[in-house]
Structure 1
Amino acid sequence: MTVETSVATPYVPAAAGPAGPPAPTAATAGPIGREADLLALDGRLHDPGIRLITLIGPAGVGKSRLAEHAARAARGAFRAVATPDLGSTDDPAASAERIARAARALRGTSDAGPGRHAGTTGQDAGSTGTDEPAGRRLLVLDGCDHDGRPDPAALAALLDAEPGLTVLATALRPLGLYGEQLVPVGPLAVPGDEVGDSPDELLRVPSVALFVRRAAQARPGFALTEENATAVADLCRLLEGLPLAVELAAGRLRLFQPQELLDQLRRAGVSSLAGGPAYAPARHRSLAALAQWHCAGLDPSELALLERLAVHVGGFAASAVERPDAAAFESLLDHGVVTVAGPRFVVPEPVRSNCLALLDGSVRDQHAERYQQLVAAAAPRLAGTEQAHWLGVLAAEGPNIEAALDRFQERGAHQAAAATAVACLESWLARGLLREGLDRYDRLAATTGLPEQLTAQLTDASGTLALALGDPADAAERHRQAQAAGRRAGDRRLVALATARLGSAQLAAGDLPAARAALESALAAQESMGAAGQAARTATALARTLRAQGQLRPAVAALERALTGARRTRDGRGLAQALHLAAAVATDRGDHAEADRHLRECLALHRTNGERTELPTALESFALLTLAAAPTQQPRVVRLIAAATRLRQCLGTAPDTPTGTALDEALGGLRARLGWTGFTVAHAEGLRLDPAEAVLEALSAPEAGRPAKEAEDKDQQQLTPRQLQVAMLVSEGLTNRQIAERLGLSEWTAVNHVRQVMRRLGCTSRVQVAWSLGRRP
């Protein structure tokens, strides 16, 4: 494996004695993105009380490179360093003999003076003075896996017999000795939601920085540009930040453009990457070889379970593992072929890609049927007290549900695919999967052999997505077709639902009389059938129509019915729609305080449900209300409008004409009042906010009608636990980078937290943050 030096802030090891180690150079600086790991290792290596340190992590993650740099950086703490070659033999006895021989060679250097190197493949240990503990030596055991794994009893005996010996090992899993200090090594960070597509922002992400460095070596003149930035970011995400995979992919740019390479890997699988250096171990020359080596030592039952788990896309929950497989699953975790990712588990690339190539159809069929059952179980719970929970479950399992739908269609099970897709409508709306869902519905509706009633449900669902995408005429036509098919099938519920949705489409198209007639008819039918949740949403649409006709008293009455019905059925998405309209009605009356309360509750519901489709409209309404009620919040207004704009770009939607005109006028005035610099900075900050952060940005604004001093005091009390943690570190004088390292965040995430803290506390400098915390009770 080649050695990569970081272009980031140089790593400075902790002092070793009065003189300390020499300052790092370009040759000794740590690998890209490993500054925190090197700091952790350096502290352990300088501690004489720690005798065994093991870097653990998946194959290809860069453990060997990290151990090499850590040993070099800490050379002042040791009189000698030995690195026996464990990777060139498949004989455990030979590996044990090499370890023993290296230990004897190190023992021979104890009295020979500092700076001796024990005849191995490592670097000269060196020394910075005579104040080091006499006889401290470092044994680097790289690749303690499979046949190269040392016998625990022999290694324990060696450490007992050599008091001055420290062992630094790399392995897929712990060696299992008492007192072993584990240092997990994970993949490099990949671009997240908080990072835009700007080349400057992406280059701060370690996986992207490594890719660009290697790509420039393989293809001189390569640079990250606006044109290729998105493809490079997607490549790093696809490769999950695994350094070896990133390097192999970057080397392929000799033949392909980034987008071409991305398309190829999506078709052929990540394990198709090859082309590592000829001098590298065989497992580092291709990802297929790496995956096979990683899985060596698993028994047949463990391999079979791994293949079943590898079919999952985007990870899986613990419930995917059956009780009889618990022991095998624990073994997979120990081997590192399954890793923990928050509350979920994943089979990391390239192991997953390699397993997929070996799967038969029955495994995919079982996976598809499992997620069909999950969606069917969730569907009736998406409009009640458990709505937020099940929306979260379906969002987490979204990639697996898509894979199940693809499998059903691939094997011709179109009826199962159609029923599952219809049940996904509420989830797809909440997640903003508008274009993807519409395309899926259209493909399924075009298949032959489906029952007419199921085709009608597909058509009706597609009309809802067409309306969300801003095409009311197309939506109305789809709902009419569904309405007619429902009548032929004698399905009263489908007819009432399609009629209500037709009325919403007609309202959006400006045909108010037709919309009112359709909505009143649908509302009466739904109430007679006891469909309370659907009736509440229909009442909201009717109230919106009546308001547009100037019928304010009937509109308020219908809105009250909608609010009451949505609260009674605990339909969070329906309640948010009604609250948004209630805020508009309050604004009509000039009651900014009431409008503010309704919009805050609406935004909080959107945040709870992970809402995407309706969130931009709510953010825009809140921004315009804030501009009217609190003119001092102009930068916040710009940020909220920018966040809504970015989200609309992702959704492929646009505000309605009146709202769009109001936003354009507001932005024009804000640009003039804030000046070019102030407006541009606020707008750029807003574009970087993800949906959850945008909601927090809105909710942290002073409440309309509240005195300024009271607003300031309340805002200071509303710091989240994470923001309070960041504020305390700011008050201690830590930089953004240091805060990120302390809390295990990306630097850009730390920057966003600091900005949020300063805005909530009303501070313009870090010194003011410290003062503000100091005067807290």
Structure 2
Amino acid sequence: MAVVVNPRTELVGRELEAAALRERLRDPSVRLVTVIGRAGVGKTRLAEEVVRGIGAEFDHVEVLDAAAASRCDAGPAGLRVKAVQKSGFGGRVLLVLDGCDHEARGAAAGAVAALAEDAHVVVLATAVEPLGVYGEQLLPLAPLPVPVAGGGAEGELHDVPSVSLFVRRARDADPSFALTLENAGAVAEICTLLGGLPLALELAALRLRLMPPHLLSARLRGGRTTVLAGGPANAPERHRSLAALAEWSCRGLDPAARALLGRLSVYEPGFGLAAAGLADEEAVEPLMDRGLLAVVGEERGELRLAVPEPVRSYARAELAEAGGEAAALDAHAERYRRLVAAALPGLAGTGQDRLLRESAAEGANVLAALRRLRDRGDGEAAAALVLGCHVPWLAQGRLREGLEWCDGVAEGGGQPLPEALRARLADLSGVFALALGDPQEAVRRHRRALALGKGVGDRRQNALVSVRLGTALLRSGDAPGARAVLVTAFSALATMGVTGGTAEAASSLAASLHAEGDRRKAVEMLERAEETFRRIRDGRGLAGALRTAAAMALENEEPDRAEAALREALRLYEAVGERTELPGALEEFALLLLRTSPAQRPRAVRLLAAADALRGETGAEVPQEWRSEAERARTELSSRLDWTDFATAWAEGVRMTAPMAVAEALSTPAPSRRPAAGSTAEALSLTPRQVQVALLVSEGLTNRHIAARLDISEWTVVNHVRQVMRRLGCTSRVQVAGAVGRWA
């Protein structure tokens, strides 16, 4: 005889888990299956649904509340006796032990052990963590998936399980509720704030009787999810409110684990093990076993963690009540201030790609640290942190935010900042202004930085500011003024031995020389910049120089060389997670395709659309002349392609993420090349030593480095390089590198 389970609402988003559980319970070799997961994730609900479906396949089904049974029957011994009694029905018995947590966990494990010899009994248990019994099979149950960043239209959100559950329960509470274009963003935010936890979603849906989604989402922001309550009167107490659920989840934690949970409650979701200093923390494992510390992602082999809601809100409130919140916030801010400072030297060289991606992953916590430093009036520490975020924020496209922080910290209350810090903040604000597409404002800010810097007497910093001023002047159309500033800055930085700054100056100076028509000097300067960027492994700087090289190659009717440069630039941008400069590179590649590969028009449309959408995320504007060129390209494409094909390709491009857009560009077939300079046949005409020299040139090594590597004189290297260039028909080291790349 099977026990009839009371009817419940429809199970949403658990089709795969339900199918997997059914198959395990039907397997004759399986004796114990434990559904594990956080409190409120729906373990009991899943077990009931599966038992309802397959209960008839057993001779008897019995459901026991493990906690209640252990309390009413003299603890573990009583639960073991009751479990053994249930096994005496004969035939196949399915015994469900629900809620094997806290004080009931040991009793449940003992009961299962007592049934080990009875081959007719199958046990289905639900618990926050494994029972630890031999032969136990686990079925982890995670919260429902939430909408991806950026949300989506209401049609797309309907397919997200957490949204689907929320909408169904909202309709139960208010039959007139519907997911619309107007409320889709708020609904997506609610599901994300609640982490897809089914119980939390159901409690939140009930609140729509009282307030619209946008007010509910605002109410839940800032760690206030524990305000949700109103669960069914016949539900366990822990299911009637998120505050009760969080308290129950933390019950029984040892002091060390509870203290760690409190400290981590001030961290924003997605922090790394190393960033939070958890590598040697023994209390991490117990918290993870209980679901109080969840894995939310991975970045290059390192776990990204979060204290999930509502536990985070509860632990934070408990920390504040105990008077420890301020100290935890200060410790968090200090940790991230040091992390940013430690990463700063590597952001323009070896390890740049790793550091930029780690910075992006920790972005929310860096901002939280910055807010804490500002709120406690530590202006100098806040300024140093903003300056340390220079490259990461540029790479991530956080331009408006960066500009606002520069201005806010520089003008904040409290003690006035030292002039040196105000000068550097003014300079950085000019960088953000230029990236946002306002070169005149950038010029104004850089000039202010120079004026402030005169009193400080920091020649190195003033020279770097001059480089950025020259770049802004060039973008504003003043090529002669840019050249004058950049020549002086380049000379000063080279004299001081500032390698990265010299390369940056050389790259900008090459662009200004090119704008004035001095191609020969521009090429020489650009080669120097590329060589330096390669040597110090500054991928982001190299990508910018390669884009300039591509523009020069196109003017010189060398589309193949331009394409090779743009392909490398795109690969470099993807490696560092670049978002500010990537849209421009994608547009340049799309326009090149239109020029060289008419058959690739649909791909060009997708790339232009992706660039447009990605630039929109940064809030940057483009120069009018470039906007006009892109508009002409779009007009031409729409006239040459069928309108439906154009619209479809454009829609596909808009939906692309940055990695997808880069992959789309790089998947373009390389154009066939005639045997020419750099072909394999001509490479075979080189001597073995010349081949060695050519390969080292392609790696970006200088003549001095090549001489040291091959143990020959520098003058001999110069002669070899000249012979290589003559035999391959190249006029520059950049062309030699391109030729070597084609040998493969």
- TM, length-normalised to structure 2: 0.85
Structure 1: 5+ residue stretches without partners: 1-20, 22-26, 111-134, 708-777
The equivalent of 2:705 in structure 1 is none
- Residue number among 260, 273, 287 corresponding to 1:318 in the alignment: 273
Structure 2: 5+ residue stretches without partners: 320-324, 675-744
CA distances 1:117-149 after superposition (whole Å, capped 9, x unpaired)? xxxxxxxxxxxxxxxxxx222111111111332
In the TM superposition, residue 383 of structure 1 has moved relative to its aligned partner by 0.6
Paired with 1:225 and 1:300, the residues of 2 have a C-alpha distance of 47
The equivalent of 2:361 in structure 1 is 396
In the TM superposition, residue 467 of structure 1 has moved relative to its aligned partner by 0.9
Instruction: Give yes or no for contact 1:586–1:595 (8 Å, CA) kept in 2.
Output: yes
Change (3 A) 1:610 1:189: same
Paired with 1:311 and 1:234, the residues of 2 have a C-alpha distance of 20
In the TM superposition, residue 92 of structure 1 has moved relative to its aligned partner by 7.4
Answer with 50-59 or 221-230: which moved more.
Answer: 221-230
Instruction: Give yes or no for contact 2:83–2:115 (8 Å, CA) kept in 1.
Output: no
In the TM superposition, residue 324 of structure 1 has moved relative to its aligned partner by 9.8
The equivalent of 1:59 in structure 2 is 39
The equivalent of 1:715 in structure 2 is none
- Residue number among 328, 332, 350 corresponding to 1:367 in the alignment: 332
The equivalent of 1:197 in structure 2 is 152
In the TM superposition, residue 659 of structure 1 has moved relative to its aligned partner by 2.5
Residue 331 of structure 1 aligns to which amino acid in structure 2? P
Change (3 A) 1:31 1:94: farther
In the TM superposition, residue 89 of structure 1 has moved relative to its aligned partner by 7.0
- Residue number among 194, 211, 232 corresponding to 2:166 in the alignment: 211
Residue 100 of structure 2 aligns to which amino acid in structure 1? C
Determine if the alignment matches structure 1 residue 107 to structure 2 residue 88.
yes
Paired with 2:408 and 2:231, the residues of 1 have a C-alpha distance of 42
SS at match of 2:271: coil
CA distances 1:377-398 after superposition (whole Å, capped 9, x unpaired)? 0111111111111112211211
- Residue number among 50, 54, 59 corresponding to 1:74 in the alignment: 54
CA distances 1:253-297 after superposition (whole Å, capped 9, x unpaired)? 222222222222114522222222222211112212111110111
Residue 391 of structure 1 aligns to which amino acid in structure 2? L
Instruction: Give yes or no for contact 2:400–2:436 (8 Å, CA) kept in 1.
Output: yes
Residue 262 of structure 2 aligns to which amino acid in structure 1? E
In the TM superposition, residue 166 of structure 1 has moved relative to its aligned partner by 0.8
SS at match of 2:283: helix
Instruction: Give yes or no for contact 1:92–1:149 (8 Å, CA) kept in 2.
Output: no
In the TM superposition, residue 29 of structure 1 has moved relative to its aligned partner by 9.9
SS at match of 1:43: helix
Determine if the alignment matches structure 1 residue 358 to structure 2 residue 358.
no
The equivalent of 1:85 in structure 2 is 65
- Give matches, 1:510-521, under 5 Å: 510-521=477-488
The equivalent of 1:697 in structure 2 is 664
Instruction: Give yes or no for contact 1:196–1:688 (8 Å, CA) kept in 2.
Output: no
Change (3 A) 1:489 1:150: same
Paired with 2:256 and 2:49, the residues of 1 have a C-alpha distance of 38
Residue 600 of structure 2 aligns to which amino acid in structure 1? Q
Change (3 A) 1:153 1:233: closer
- Give matches, 1:661-680, under 5 Å: 661-680=628-647
Paired with 1:155 and 1:325, the residues of 2 have a C-alpha distance of 36
The equivalent of 1:280 in structure 2 is 235
In the TM superposition, residue 658 of structure 1 has moved relative to its aligned partner by 2.6
- Residue number among 618, 633, 648 corresponding to 1:651 in the alignment: 618
CA distances 1:582-624 after superposition (whole Å, capped 9, x unpaired)? 1111111222211111111000000110100001001111111
Change (3 A) 1:320 1:581: closer
The equivalent of 2:215 in structure 1 is 260
Residue 315 of structure 2 aligns to which amino acid in structure 1? C
The equivalent of 1:42 in structure 2 is 22
Instruction: Give yes or no for contact 1:92–1:148 (8 Å, CA) kept in 2.
Output: no
In the TM superposition, residue 206 of structure 1 has moved relative to its aligned partner by 0.8
- Give matches, 1:502-517, under 5 Å: 502-517=469-484
Instruction: Give yes or no for contact 2:80–2:110 (8 Å, CA) kept in 1.
Output: no
Residue 351 of structure 1 aligns to which amino acid in structure 2? V
In the TM superposition, residue 469 of structure 1 has moved relative to its aligned partner by 0.8
Instruction: Give yes or no for contact 1:421–1:441 (8 Å, CA) kept in 2.
Output: yes
The equivalent of 2:188 in structure 1 is 233
Instruction: Give yes or no for contact 2:70–2:79 (8 Å, CA) kept in 1.
Output: no
Determine if the alignment matches structure 1 residue 305 to structure 2 residue 272.
no
In the TM superposition, residue 420 of structure 1 has moved relative to its aligned partner by 1.0
Residue 384 of structure 1 aligns to which amino acid in structure 2? G
CA distances 1:454-499 after superposition (whole Å, capped 9, x unpaired)? 1111111111111111111211111111111111110112211111
SS at match of 1:436: helix
Paired with 1:153 and 1:356, the residues of 2 have a C-alpha distance of 33
Paired with 2:110 and 2:79, the residues of 1 have a C-alpha distance of 13
Change (3 A) 1:153 1:292: closer
In the TM superposition, residue 675 of structure 1 has moved relative to its aligned partner by 1.8
- Give matches, 1:583-622, under 5 Å: 583-622=550-589
The equivalent of 1:428 in structure 2 is 393
Instruction: Give yes or no for contact 1:81–1:106 (8 Å, CA) kept in 2.
Output: no
SS at match of 1:340: strand
- Give matches, 1:45-194, under 5 Å: 45-86=25-66, 88=68, 91=71, 93=73, 96=76, 97=78, 100-101=81-82, 104-105=85-86, 107-108=88-89, 110=90, 135-151=91-107, 154-193=110-149
Paired with 2:388 and 2:22, the residues of 1 have a C-alpha distance of 54
Instruction: Give yes or no for contact 1:91–1:147 (8 Å, CA) kept in 2.
Output: no
Paired with 1:196 and 1:619, the residues of 2 have a C-alpha distance of 24
Change (3 A) 1:638 1:323: closer
- Residue number among 591, 594, 610 corresponding to 1:627 in the alignment: 594
Instruction: Give yes or no for contact 1:592–1:704 (8 Å, CA) kept in 2.
Output: no
Determine if the alignment matches structure 1 residue 327 to structure 2 residue 282.
yes
Paired with 1:576 and 1:436, the residues of 2 have a C-alpha distance of 24
Paired with 2:195 and 2:660, the residues of 1 have a C-alpha distance of 24
Count of residues in correspondence between the two structures:
657
Determine if the alignment matches structure 1 residue 568 to structure 2 residue 548.
no
Change (3 A) 1:594 1:523: same
Change (3 A) 1:58 1:241: same
Paired with 2:648 and 2:84, the residues of 1 have a C-alpha distance of 59
Residue 308 of structure 2 aligns to which amino acid in structure 1? P
The equivalent of 2:307 in structure 1 is 347
The equivalent of 1:270 in structure 2 is 225
Residue 674 of structure 1 aligns to which amino acid in structure 2? L
Change (3 A) 1:573 1:142: same
Paired with 2:96 and 2:112, the residues of 1 have a C-alpha distance of 15
Paired with 1:364 and 1:489, the residues of 2 have a C-alpha distance of 34
SS at match of 2:21: helix
The structure having more radius of gyration, on CA atoms, is 2
In the TM superposition, residue 676 of structure 1 has moved relative to its aligned partner by 2.7
Answer with 469-478 or 660-669: which moved more.
Answer: 660-669
The equivalent of 1:720 in structure 2 is none
Change (3 A) 1:443 1:365: same
Paired with 2:229 and 2:405, the residues of 1 have a C-alpha distance of 35
SS at match of 1:190: coil
Residue 378 of structure 2 aligns to which amino acid in structure 1? A
Paired with 1:81 and 1:250, the residues of 2 have a C-alpha distance of 33
The equivalent of 1:458 in structure 2 is 425
Percent of aligned pairs sharing the same letter? 50
Change (3 A) 1:99 1:159: closer
Residue 71 of structure 1 aligns to which amino acid in structure 2? V
Instruction: Give yes or no for contact 1:190–1:240 (8 Å, CA) kept in 2.
Output: yes
Change (3 A) 1:467 1:534: same
Paired with 1:53 and 1:349, the residues of 2 have a C-alpha distance of 27
- Give matches, 1:408-419, under 5 Å: 408-419=373-384
Instruction: Give yes or no for contact 2:511–2:548 (8 Å, CA) kept in 1.
Output: yes
Paired with 1:396 and 1:439, the residues of 2 have a C-alpha distance of 21
SS at match of 2:96: strand
- For the aligned residue pairs, the C-alpha RMSD in angstroms reads 2.2
